[in-house]
Structure 1
Amino acid sequence: MATEEVIDSGEKRLNELGYKQELRREMTLFKTLAISFSTMTLFTGITPLFGSSLLYAGPASLVWGWVVVTFFTWFVGIAMAEICSSFPTTGTQAYAGTQTLQSIILLCTGTNKGGGYFTPRGVFLAIYIGLTLIWAFLNTFALEVIAFLDLISLYWQVIGGTVIVIMLPLVAKTTQSASFVFTHFEMGSDSTGISSKAYAVILSFLVSQYSLYGYDAAAHLTEETKGADKNGPIAILSSIGIISVFGWAYILALTFSIQNFNYLYDPSNETAGANAVAQILYDAFHGRYHNSAGAIVLLFIIWGSFFFGGLSITTSAARVVYALSRDKGVPFSSIWRKIHPKHKVPSNAVWLCAGICILIGIPLLKVNEIFTAITSVCTIGWVGGYAVPIFARMVMSEKNFNPGPFYLGKFSRPICLVAFLWICYTCSVFLLPTIYPITWSSFNYAPVALGVCLGLIMLWWILDARKWFKGPVRNIDNLNGKV
């Protein structure tokens, strides 16, 4: 008796949307969760921005800012989960990782006060490029390799995060009081030039807004995930939940363990005033044990998070390029949409992402401001990219929406509205000046860079793209179901 082949629910929905299965669908829920979690990462958003966010308005604003941002992030995540369930299609890490490695090298070689080696710009850029190339190389193998490494990442960050959260306050010779952590508000006007309390609070939220994104990696990998219409939403919401809890615990551990608030930013301190988190770790362990070995170990745990995060972000970014290329939405799409015949991964798209990342890093040889502007624009693009499908879902007629297993029903539109407004607010904040008075070196070039990017894209559309780009390109002759 002939038996009918069972088609995965995610693949069936993909076919209904007009796309054939090209990538290898082998990812389980846990592996997808691992990659999504690694893309968000526990340490990578908080560590580089903790010091600057703390400086704006003190500990209370930073600590409660995480709670506020987490609350609104759930609206965005829930809205994205519903969209991911219905449309299971694929859709800066090196800099911060290099900064952490720079602090590790400095402490290993004697600290800033003891003649330690503080990597110059050329070496910094070389490390940056090296990390990017390693991530690209690993991403040319089958996704199973990345999934295995991200499983390690999940355990690395959860176990390592637990160790840091518990150990750091215990090692610190003195800890800050609960009133300092939860209620102390302190303006850093002398350093930031900002006198408005409301404005300082808004800027202090940046660390949370930057950290609580990346869960959309689960959506980018849905064409490689088994039962993606169910497992994609679960991975998105689980990633947000884990990061929400561990991220706040990490912020609290750091804040409680501060020994000398002002000394964190002193350019003559042991970490050259370049990394407030590294200085907190150093002060705790050196104060207790008179050496920096423990701080170096914990910094290495943090750096591992950057490494795994960069690996996952490369994976996610390549899938976005692949999806856009499949619809002929980027120049030379026929090149970037090609799938490796053996590993079934978009290897050309991987190397395109790596090449762009390296080009972005070249300005580091001269100035940091250009790089900062580019990363701000990338963050705006990343966050703003969520707004497009959420807005479309909000205005779409319900009869034209074919829901997946995760369906919000009558709550969909109000949730999407809150999520959309929060995204608009977040993107606006990333365009604000962060230091006063505004000079050529302190100016936030993100609005300029964003304007240039949008201008070039609009020019490309007017002169060329509008003549041939028609939206999604179906590559299968199965048109069943509502789209």
Structure 2
Amino acid sequence: MVSSYHNRDGSISHDAAYAHATPSERTAVDSADDLLAKMGYKAELVRTRSTLQAAFMSFVLASIPYGLSTTLYYPLQGGGPAVVIWGWVLVSLIILCVAASLGEITSVYPTAGGVYYQTFMLAPHSIKRVAAYICGWAYVVGNITITLAVQFGTTLFYVACINVFEKEPGVGIWEAETYQIFLVFVAITILCNIISATCNRWLPYLDTFAIAWTFLALICICVTILTVAKNGRRSAKFAFGGFEPSSGWPAGWSYCVGLLHAAYATSSTGMLLSMCEEVQAPATQVPKAMVLTICLNTFGGLLFLVPLMFVLPNLADLVALESGQPTPSIIKSAVGSSTGAFLLLLPIMILGLLCGTACTTAASRCTWAFSRDGAIPGAKLWSKVNTKLDVPLNAMMLSMAVQIVLGVIYFGSPAAFNAFSGVGVMTLTASYATPIFVSMLQKRRQVEAAAKFPLGKFGWVLNTVAVAWSFLALPLFCMPALLPVTAATVNYAPVVFVAFVAIASIWYFAWGRKNYAGPPKDEVQDVQVAVRRASEAHFKGGAPSGLEKSV
């Protein structure tokens, strides 16, 4: 595996790692850098990840079962097992369409700018700047807020895990006050940033460890709770079809609102695009990694969720939990022991940190990539790469600062976590849909001609499902999870979402319209000409060559 290969002036560095790399690895790295140069950027980050390592990072970004544990409250309130199991399957199939659609586009434009750069390249000329600018802000905001939601979710989950030990029945040993929860959140956020910043070269190995750790944890949890089942087991009819909505919404809409659980766990799908410039052959490896991860996540999710539904305690009691974290209570009820429950929860707690580290890494890369094109105030500062650590440290610190500032909202309302997770899902969903939608407006000609990960005759169907999901998800996750609405249950996600859209729009018309030009102009034109020629050759039955092949 190539661990480094470029000097800062762009010249090839024949260090030990590069010298001992296989010919295919060297070719992949050099080809990826050549394509990146044609898109207007100099390689500044180190390409360390193979296909499997990219897939492993994508898996860790979702961190099943951690991602499903922290938001399990939503589907239980939305209806119970029927929402948990079939909602997970339904959303996983939809996100598979999103991943495949993004993968096809990424195989043409594999940069850390991800959906932002792709939107600029695919949109009609008259709207490309504003479309890319808004998409870029949605992508950056989504990365930062979903990372914030992960760190906050980890904090609340830790408190619930500690409280499986009780002073008396129903009363945990740590009645965490608001400031204590905030301080734990800050500590977790800083820790994840330290790991991401100082251990960058080891992160692929940490992700590989996380895969083995995850499935070992899943097997232990599955076998233990089904074997012990202290309070008995539910019937298969209930575990797969029980539906008892308690959200106050009509049954059908209650089911839909409960899908936030699965949407949150899969929202990280496109965050891997920010790592394109650290993958050896991103045009093929990143699309494969995203699709492979969804399949792996779907299986892992079912392995975790189905056993929980068989040992589910009373639904009303779980929904009424003050912590909003039912997973620790379910596992404790199943094993009948606080110590046993905590030991089973410990692997999930560690996964929370691994997930936070992966999200921190991805968020810093997309912030850096967007700054690189001058789209963020103070762009020159945020677009610098720390050459000693080989990470965009300034962008990482900006992302961390924004998360901590937003975390202060928790002092005003305990519903803050709902807002963070909701905004993260909404903005990421919108950013994923944008390049897919503009590609469809252009009749998919560019991606059909040049994609190294082609969807062929399934392209239109998969693209349509991906875009339709975004039109459902945006209003859906603006809804409060519970009726009637109170100060404690109101959904602040639409407020935060609209605020970010307003800020991005105002900044564009106040500054961006005159100062923001998008990706490097001359190189963009070169790439667009090449793709257009490839498209013409493709639809005339000819064979593109030279630059057209490389694009």
Identify the residue that residue 324 of structure 1 maps to in structure 2: 370
Is 1:156 the equivalent of 2:210?
no
Tell me, in whole angstroms, the C-alpha distance in 2 between the residues paired with 1:115 and 1:247.
28
Tell me, in whole angstroms, the C-alpha distance in 1 between the residues paired with 2:172 and 2:456.
63
Residue pair 2:57, 2:204 contacting (<8 A) in 1 also: yes
**Per the alignment, do residues 377 and 399 of structure 1 end up closer, same or farther by CA in structure 2, a change over 3 Å counting?**
closer
Could you tell me which amino acid in structure 2 is paired with residue 258 of structure 1?
Answer: L
Residue pair 1:105, 1:118 contacting (<8 A) in 2 also: no
Instruction: Give the one of 92, 105, 111 matched to 1:83.
Output: 105
Could you tell me which amino acid in structure 1 is paired with residue 163 of structure 2?
Answer: L
Tell me, in whole angstroms, the C-alpha distance in 2 between the residues paired with 1:157 and 1:57.
27
- Larger mean Cα displacement after TM superposition, 9-18 or 228-237: 9-18
Identify the residue that residue 445 of structure 1 maps to in structure 2: 492
Tell me, in whole angstroms, the C-alpha distance in 2 between the residues paired with 1:344 and 1:115.
44
**Per the alignment, do residues 139 and 278 of structure 1 end up closer, same or farther by CA in structure 2, a change over 3 Å counting?**
same
Percentage identity across paired residues of the two chains: 25
Identify the residue that residue 6 of structure 2 maps to in structure 1: none
User: How far is 1:273 from its partner?
Assistant: 5.4
- Larger mean Cα displacement after TM superposition, 115-124 or 306-315: 115-124
Residue pair 1:210, 1:379 contacting (<8 A) in 2 also: yes
Point out 4+ residue stretches in structure 1 off by more than 4 angstroms: 4-7, 108-112, 474-478
Tell me, in whole angstroms, the C-alpha distance in 2 between the residues paired with 1:372 and 1:273.
13
Could you tell me which amino acid in structure 1 is paired with residue 474 of structure 2?
Answer: C
Could you tell me which amino acid in structure 1 is paired with residue 316 of structure 2?
Answer: N
Tell me, in whole angstroms, the C-alpha distance in 1 between the residues paired with 2:348 and 2:417.
22
User: How far is 1:181 from its partner?
Assistant: 1.4
User: How far is 1:305 from its partner?
Assistant: 1.4
Is 1:193 the equivalent of 2:248?
yes
Output aligned runs, 1:48-127, within 5 Å.
48-91=70-113, 92-108=149-165, 110=167, 113=170, 116-127=173-184
Tell me, in whole angstroms, the C-alpha distance in 1 between the residues paired with 2:238 and 2:522.
60
SS of structure 1 residue aligned to 2:112? coil
Could you tell me which amino acid in structure 2 is paired with residue 131 of structure 1?
Answer: I
Could you tell me which amino acid in structure 1 is paired with residue 396 of structure 2?
Answer: V
Residue pair 2:154, 2:352 contacting (<8 A) in 1 also: yes
Identify the residue that residue 34 of structure 1 maps to in structure 2: 56
**Per the alignment, do residues 69 and 80 of structure 1 end up closer, same or farther by CA in structure 2, a change over 3 Å counting?**
same
User: Cα RMSD (Å) of the superposition?
Assistant: 2.3
User: How far is 1:9 from its partner?
Assistant: 2.9
Instruction: Give the one of 276, 285, 303 matched to 2:326.
Output: 276
- Larger mean Cα displacement after TM superposition, 61-70 or 315-324: 61-70
Residue pair 1:19, 1:474 contacting (<8 A) in 2 also: no
Number of aligned positions between the proteins: 468
For normalisation by structure 2, the TM-score amounts to 0.80
User: How far is 1:399 from its partner?
Assistant: 4.8
Tell me, in whole angstroms, the C-alpha distance in 2 between the residues paired with 1:153 and 1:439.
39
User: How far is 1:29 from its partner?
Assistant: 1.8
Tell me, in whole angstroms, the C-alpha distance in 2 between the residues paired with 1:58 and 1:162.
23
- Larger mean Cα displacement after TM superposition, 7-16 or 22-31: 7-16
- Larger mean Cα displacement after TM superposition, 245-254 or 4-13: 4-13
Could you tell me which amino acid in structure 2 is paired with residue 178 of structure 1?
Answer: A
Identify the residue that residue 409 of structure 1 maps to in structure 2: 456
Identify the residue that residue 275 of structure 2 maps to in structure 1: 221
Unmatched segments (≥5 aa) in structure 2:
1-22, 114-148, 532-550
Residue pair 1:65, 1:208 contacting (<8 A) in 2 also: yes
Residue pair 2:419, 2:491 contacting (<8 A) in 1 also: yes
Instruction: Give the one of 19, 29, 34 matched to 2:41.
Output: 19
Residue pair 2:371, 2:383 contacting (<8 A) in 1 also: yes
Tell me, in whole angstroms, the C-alpha distance in 2 between the residues paired with 1:159 and 1:56.
30
User: How far is 1:176 from its partner?
Assistant: 0.4
User: How far is 1:110 from its partner?
Assistant: 4.2
Is 1:178 the equivalent of 2:236?
yes
Could you tell me which amino acid in structure 2 is paired with residue 458 of structure 1?
Answer: S
Could you tell me which amino acid in structure 1 is paired with residue 438 of structure 2?
Answer: A
Unmatched segments (≥5 aa) in structure 1:
none
User: How far is 1:274 from its partner?
Assistant: 3.9
Q: Deviations over 1:22-54 (max 9, x none)?
A: 111121222212211100110233112213311
Identify the residue that residue 478 of structure 2 maps to in structure 1: 431
Q: Deviations over 1:418-466 (max 9, x none)?
A: 2111122112211122221223332222222222221122111111111
Tell me, in whole angstroms, the C-alpha distance in 2 between the residues paired with 1:82 and 1:136.
31
